[in-house]
């Protein structure tokens, strides 16, 4: 169903209607109440913000959804809408409190009340990013209110000094972040649980040292609608039985991940032929309401790709087709009170969140320690400290013996001492981590994701100094909290670091804040270099908290670093606006990398991550790597010589792609249509311009190329499109742009479909090509028989396509002004049906031209291919008429997904839906198309904050020079409460070995098998291979002593010093573009021979060009100066020279044994430059060698090193070196 949002008051107090229903009672998808425990209706209830009337402004639907597009991709727009109506009471303005509040405001919460009567202290500047030195001594809450309001001017931010029942009742959630006595906590928790008409969510979060604790209670009646946030599973229906427990057979659609629905899931059906009424069936959900869905059942012996549903005997028989979609329905998720869970929190990794897989059970020790600390504080009515350690340990033992705590553990005295020592000493990284976790829990009130079932206890004991620092006493500085754990000398080390931060988006903003608060790069010798080539967009503001609306359009690196310096004026930072890669190595050169202490990646793509990883390996620099995807995140510390590299971890899973045959001819899901439409955008508005320019430059070659194409269908499409474009370009106007759009409507949605119907009529059959056996109907399974479109100016999809496509072609033809950034009135008068109807009156319906059908990649056949050669030749004849015609300037479109008024997503939406209509597939709305076509990565502020906090702990360990066992690779899943941590993997070691090769059974004689049919050992081949050095890791290098060493000397050096015989060396210059069998782009290395040096043809040994071929052959064969293996090459070169009538000129680019390595590298750089210029190599991937001038060293990567054999000292057979370390060649 299309979701229509109506947003008032600039996103405050918003309401959403779905098919005419107000949001709040039921979830937009028609399932049970999304938020039964916290219904977001009720404007008079000040738990929800009613600021929309006060603001008096209206924000457009698209503008709001654009701002939250990345968040909506992770949470769903309906959850974001609920957030805008929610109000939170945050008790305390501690470091973790401001992190929680910041994340809530970024995610669009309607209002926050800060409750704290304390005044700011100097130490607060190290954990509170909104405080300045001038704020010391001022009341915290009122001081912070206007600064939080900057993050979202439309959120209601207020201050309060005292908690009261009346204040609590005005909010949907209470988050306690301050030191509140245990009796008070228990009282407020009970008040919130018993609130009417529904419970108020109650959370407690605290942190001290390397420990953090979170308590969550949403009341006894909470409902979870979507436990994991994953996209609903889609399956194609193959059959539906008639019976009391009907078996449904399904298949996996192209592009969808395989998997099974668990018992108890719910599904709904659509587009089913037969079984009338199956799509409207209702049954009760676990939450007690009726849902339009079927509960999934299974039996032990059921076949794969089947499920069972209920009784279908009352429905007509199944005829065919259909789509089955998983339906998320409400599940009761009751909570226990603070008193109950304090006594018995559950068991880690069972009914309690597990966080420590290295020290199993540490969560229970933390829980008991917290319980004991609170109990002692309640008894003495004051805060505890290290001096109370013995009393707290005694209290813990008393709690266990009296059964006030039902934990069955023994007190770990050592852990308790560490817990108590810093109980009231917060660390900023923990504040950031827990701030993300707790803010995400608040979002879960809306029924999205699985809440923490009571308690979460997290520690980072491995991050503590190995010995107790002696300089932890406070000195009245902003770093006193940090020094309280690590010492002031550690703070000084952090301050003088020279770091490089690559990227300044969501991760980069959080890192900059963390660096500033912890004093990283804030000393006299410190420097943080930050680079990001992007500029700030509106959609950045919900995650990248250093940016404000007035920053939109500004460089990210400069705006973010300006804000970071305001947080800590001592911060030394240099902001750059460039990418990091081979093309910028003149800036990021040897001196730059060599001068760094470490690198922090804040990137969003794998290619850049791998490049930075390679540079860190090359220059032996630690790298802090991390990433997020919606509510999931990862942390990967990369430390030279201690851990594996980022590349060692392998490529990120990109998921399964959609086969080309599906996109081209047989779509069966809306996503297939969207992907196809995205390709059409490139074809119509980018590639068409390139085709026109290519034709204008050399018409004859273009016509010849198209005429000899092996894909007639594609050639016909391209030539027809080019003809329409050339006609429009000959007389550029709005009308000619409209005709061009009209031509493409008929080409894409009428003619291409008619071609497919002609080739494969509705009654087409599939026959086995060998046996000629009839295998069934062609249009079956995932293939849907299409229908050709007829333009209807009253059909919204048709006229909206025509408007969007005309607008884009008008910009391409430059007959309308260029759209300016931020212009929301661009071509406003065109955006209506009347304008389109007037345009279409003057347009001509193009004649149908039969084309071919390309079904390459589809395993089924059975149709008759159309002979399209005649059609193609006729079109090329028309094209000849445009030879010599001038081509006016044409403007290629630059796809921009975040401008909702540039017609880009509008075109793709209407094109996708026209395609869907061709194939009887459900349509998609603008926002879904934007997410899919724009490849928008789900992103939320909470995950970013949590991950960046954890990265800081790894940075601390790096500065402390911790062993590999202390570093943690972490996987964070805020949706389902996964916080797994593993010891970082040591570097992968490459060792010599023996590979066993088992021959194919059919290639072996009968006596090669034993009585059990197993191949005998003597028939299994063994092949030894070597690693050099043995063993080695990617961090190791073979270092050449001098670049003046000649190639011959290098060969001798390998033999004498390393006992390696140089066999072959093909130097990789760069990469060429190729495609795999599915049409997916791949890169292929392009190399040139170095060793053995390639043969140089010396024309001085040529016979006279006046000789005949026979005489020339005799002279060449008899010339002792020409090596025997090269004689035929000389003869061929002589023949080429004779044909041209001149001797070849001497070549100066040949590799010789007496050339120095530096000369050879310079020569290779020149060859790489030439290969890029002449198009041999693809510039997308850059050159493998470039920028030698000014470099101090060049490293040959391990996968590009020369081929060598070992030279065994004992005279045994040499062995191929399969794994060789990188080779480092000094250049100075």
The dihedrals phi and psi of 56, each to the nearest 5 degrees, come to: 70, 10
Integer Cα distance of 270 and 236 in angstroms? 10
DSSP secondary structure letter of residue 1183: B
Integer Cα distance of 358 and 180 in angstroms? 32
Shortest CA distance to 613 belongs to which of 594, 640, 587? 640
How far out from the chain centre does Cα 677 lie? 22
Q: Which residues contact 702 (CB under 8 A, 6 or more apart)?
A: 694, 695, 879
C-beta of residue 198 within 8 angstroms of C-beta of residue 221: yes
Integer Cα distance of 1016 and 1008 in angstroms? 6
Integer Cα distance of 228 and 444 in angstroms? 11
Helix residue ranges, H only, 688-751? 688-697, 699-707, 712-730, 734-746
C-beta of residue 312 within 8 angstroms of C-beta of residue 246: yes
C-beta of residue 170 within 8 angstroms of C-beta of residue 88: no
Which residues does residue 732 pair with via DSSP β-bridges, in sequence order?
none
How far out from the chain centre does Cα 1021 lie? 43
C-beta of residue 336 within 8 angstroms of C-beta of residue 325: no
DSSP track, 1146-1170: PPS----TTSBHHHHHHHHHHHHHH
Q: Which of 27, 34, 373, 661 is catalytic?
A: 661
DSSP secondary structure letter of residue 709: -
DSSP track, 86-122: -EEEEE--SHHHHHHHHHHHHTT-SEEEEE--PBP-G
DSSP secondary structure letter of residue 748: I
C-beta of residue 550 within 8 angstroms of C-beta of residue 593: no
Q: Which residues contact 264 (CB under 8 A, 6 or more apart)?
A: 295, 296
Integer Cα distance of 1033 and 644 in angstroms? 9
Integer Cα distance of 1116 and 94 in angstroms? 89
Integer Cα distance of 752 and 746 in angstroms? 8
Integer Cα distance of 672 and 675 in angstroms? 5
Q: Within 10 Å of residue 1079's Cβ, how many Cβ atoms?
A: 14
Distances (CA, A) of 536 to 66, 71, 545, 556, 918: 14, 17, 11, 6, 39
Distances (CA, A) of 169 to 15, 93, 1016: 22, 20, 79
Integer Cα distance of 929 and 915 in angstroms? 13
Any catalytic annotation for residue 616?
A: no
Measured at the CA of 185, the angle between CA 181 and CA 189, to 5 degrees, comes to 175
Give the SS3 label for residue 532: coil
Q: Within 10 Å of residue 159's Cβ, how many Cβ atoms?
A: 18
The dihedrals phi and psi of 801, each to the nearest 5 degrees, come to: -60, -45
Roughly how many angstroms between the first and final C-alpha of the chain, as a whole number?
A: 67
Shortest CA distance to 544 belongs to which of 601, 517, 504? 504
DSSP track, 1078-1119: TS-EEEEEEEEEEESPPP---GGGPPPTTS-HHHHHHHHHT-
Q: Within 10 Å of residue 299's Cβ, how many Cβ atoms?
A: 9
Q: Catalytic amino acids?
A: 661
């Amino acid at each position: 169903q299309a979701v229509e949002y109506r947003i008032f008051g600039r996103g405050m107090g918003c309401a959403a209607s779905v098919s005419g229903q107000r949001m709040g009672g039921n979830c937009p998808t028609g399932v049970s109440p999304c938020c039964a425990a916290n219904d977001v209706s009720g404007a008079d209830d000040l738990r929800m913000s009613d600021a929309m009337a006060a603001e008096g402004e209206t924000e457009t639907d698209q503008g709001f959804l654009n701002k939250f597009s990345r968040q909506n991709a992770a949470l769903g727009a309906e959850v974001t809408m609920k957030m805008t109506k929610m109000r939170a009471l945050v008790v305390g303005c501690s470091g973790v409190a401001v992190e929680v509040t910041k994340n809530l405001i970024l995610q669009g919460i309607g209002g926050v009340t800060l409750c704290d009567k304390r005044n700011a202290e100097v130490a607060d500047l190290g954990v509170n990013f909104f405080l300045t030195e001038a704020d010391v001594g001022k009341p915290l809450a009122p001081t912070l209110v206007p600064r939080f309001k900057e993050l979202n001017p439309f959120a209601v931010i207020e201050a309060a000094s005292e908690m009261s029942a009346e204040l609590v009742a005005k909010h949907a959630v209470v988050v306690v972040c301050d030191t509140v006595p245990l009796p008070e906590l228990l009282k407020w928790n009970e008040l919130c649980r018993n609130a009417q008409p529904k419970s108020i969510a109650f959370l407690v979060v605290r942190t001290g040292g390397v420990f953090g604790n979170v308590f969550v209670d949403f009341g006894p009646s909470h409902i979870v609608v979507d436990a994991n946030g994953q996209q609903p599973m889609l399956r194609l229906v193959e059959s539906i039985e008639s019976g009391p427990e009907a078996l449904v057979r399904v298949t996996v659609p192209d592009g969808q991940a395989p998997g099974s629905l668990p018992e108890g899931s719910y599904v709904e059906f659509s587009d089913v032929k037969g079984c009338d009424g199956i799509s409207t069936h209702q049954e009760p959900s676990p939450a007690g309401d009726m849902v339009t869905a079927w509960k999934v059942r299974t039996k032990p012996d059921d076949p794969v790709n089947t499920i069972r549903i209920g009784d279908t005997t009352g429905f007509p028989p199944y005829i065919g087709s259909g789509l089955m979609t998983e339906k998320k329905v409400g599940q009761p998720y009751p909570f226990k009170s603070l008193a109950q869970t304090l006594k018995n929190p559950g068991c880690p990794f069972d009914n309690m969140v597990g966080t420590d897989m290295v020290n199993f059970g540490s969560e229970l020790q933390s829980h008991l320690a917290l319980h004991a600390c609170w109990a002692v504080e309640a008894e003495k009515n004051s805060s505890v400290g290290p001096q109370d350690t013995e009393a707290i340990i005694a209290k813990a033992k008393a709690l266990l013996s009296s059964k006030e705590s039902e934990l069955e553990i023994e007190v770990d005295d050592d852990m308790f001492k560490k817990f108590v020592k810093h109980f009231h000493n917060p660390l900023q990284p923990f504040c950031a981590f827990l701030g993300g976790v707790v803010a995400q829990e608040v979002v879960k009130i809306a029924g999205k994701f699985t809440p923490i079932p009571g308690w979460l206890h997290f520690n980072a004991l491995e991050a503590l100094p190995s010995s107790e620092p002696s300089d932890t006493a406070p000195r009245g500085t902003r770093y006193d909290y940090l020094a309280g754990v690590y010492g002031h000398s550690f703070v000084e080390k952090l301050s003088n670091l020279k770091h490089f931060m690559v990227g300044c988006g969501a991760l980069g903003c959080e890192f900059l804040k963390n660096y500033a608060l912890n004093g990283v790069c804030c000393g006299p010798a410190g420097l943080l270099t930050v680079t990001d080539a992007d500029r700030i967009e509106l959609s950045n503001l919900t995650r990248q908290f250093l940016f404000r609306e007035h920053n939109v359009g500004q460089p990210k690196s400069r705006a973010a670093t300006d804000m970071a310096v305001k947080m800590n004026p001592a911060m030394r930072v240099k902001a750059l606006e460039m990418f990091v890669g081979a093309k910028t190595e003149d800036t990021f050169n040897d001196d730059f990398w060599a001068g760094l202490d470490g690198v922090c990646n804040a990137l969003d793509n794998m290619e850049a991550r791998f490049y930075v990883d390679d540079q860190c390996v090359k220059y032996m620099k630690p790298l802090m790597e991390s990433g997020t995807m919606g509510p999931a995140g990862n942390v990967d510390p990369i430390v030279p010589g201690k851990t594996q590299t980022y590349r060692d971890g392998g490529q990120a899973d990109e998921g399964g792609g959609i086969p080309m045959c599906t996109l081209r001819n047989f779509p069966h899901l809306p996503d297939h249509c969207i992907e196809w439409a995205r390709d059409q955008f490139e074809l119509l508005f980018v590639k068409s311009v390139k085709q026109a320019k290519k034709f204008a430059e050399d018409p004859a070659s273009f016509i010849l190329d198209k005429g000899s194409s092996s894909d007639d269908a594609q050639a016909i499409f391209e030539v027809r499109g080019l003809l329409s474009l050339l006609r429009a370009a000959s007389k550029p106007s709005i009308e000619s742009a409209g005709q061009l759009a009209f031509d493409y409507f008929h080409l894409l949605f009428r003619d291409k479909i008619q071609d497919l119907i002609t080739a494969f009529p509705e009654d087409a059959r599939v026959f086995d090509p060998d046996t000629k056996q009839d295998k069934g109907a062609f249009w079956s399974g995932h293939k849907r028989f299409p229908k050709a479109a007829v333009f209807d100016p009253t059909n919204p999809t048709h006229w909206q396509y025509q408007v969007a496509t005309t607008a884009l072609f008008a910009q391409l033809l430059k007959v309308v002004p260029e759209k300016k950034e931020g212009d929301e009135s661009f071509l406003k008068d065109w955006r209506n049906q009347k304008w389109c109807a007037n345009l279409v009156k003057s347009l001509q319906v193009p004649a149908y031209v039969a084309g071919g059908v390309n079904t390459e990649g589809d395993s089924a056949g059975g149709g008759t291919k159309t002979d399209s050669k005649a059609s193609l030749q006729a079109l090329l004849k028309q094209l000849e008429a445009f030879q010599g015609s001038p081509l006016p300037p044409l403007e290629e479109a630059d796809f921009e997904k975040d401008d909702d008024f540039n017609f880009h997503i509008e075109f793709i939406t209407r094109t996708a839906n026209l395609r869907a209509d061709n194939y009887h597939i459900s349509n998609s709305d603008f926002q879904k198309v934007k997410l899919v076509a724009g490849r928008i990565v789900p992103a939320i502020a909470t995950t970013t904050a949590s991950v960046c906090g954890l990265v800081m702990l790894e940075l601390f360990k790096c500065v402390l020079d911790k062993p590999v066992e202390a570093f943690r690779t972490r996987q964070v899943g805020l949706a389902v409460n996964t916080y797994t941590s593993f010891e970082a993997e040591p570097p992968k070691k490459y060792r010599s070995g023996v590979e066993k090769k088992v021959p194919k059974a059919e290639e072996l004689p009968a006596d090669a098998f034993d009585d059990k049919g197993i191949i005998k050992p003597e028939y299994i081949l063994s092949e030894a291979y070597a690693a050099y050095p043995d063993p080695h890791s990617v961090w190791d290098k073979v270092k050449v002593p001098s670049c003046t060493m000649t190639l011959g000397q290098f060969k001798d050096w390998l033999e004498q010093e390393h006992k390696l015989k140089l066999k072959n060396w093909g130097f990789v210059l760069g990469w060429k573009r190729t495609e795999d069998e599915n049409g997916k782009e791949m890169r292929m290395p392009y190399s040139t021979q170095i060793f053995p040096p390639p043969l140089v043809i010396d024309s001085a040994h040529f016979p006279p060009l006046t000789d005949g071929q026979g005489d020339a052959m005799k002279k060449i064969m008899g010339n002792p100066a020409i090596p025997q293996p090269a004689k035929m090459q000389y003869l061929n070169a002589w023949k080429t020279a004779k044909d041209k009538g001149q001797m070849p000129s001497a070549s100066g680019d040949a590799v010789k044994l007496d050339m120095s390595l530096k000369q050879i590298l310079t020569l290779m750089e020149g060859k790489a430059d030439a290969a890029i210029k002449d198009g041999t190599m693809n510039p997308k991937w850059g050159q493998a060698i470039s920028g030698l001038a000014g470099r101090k060293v060049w490293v040959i990567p391990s996968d590009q090193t020369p081929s060598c054999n070992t030279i065994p000292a004992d005279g045994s057979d040499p062995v191929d070196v399969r794994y060789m370390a990188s080779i480092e060649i000094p250049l100075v």
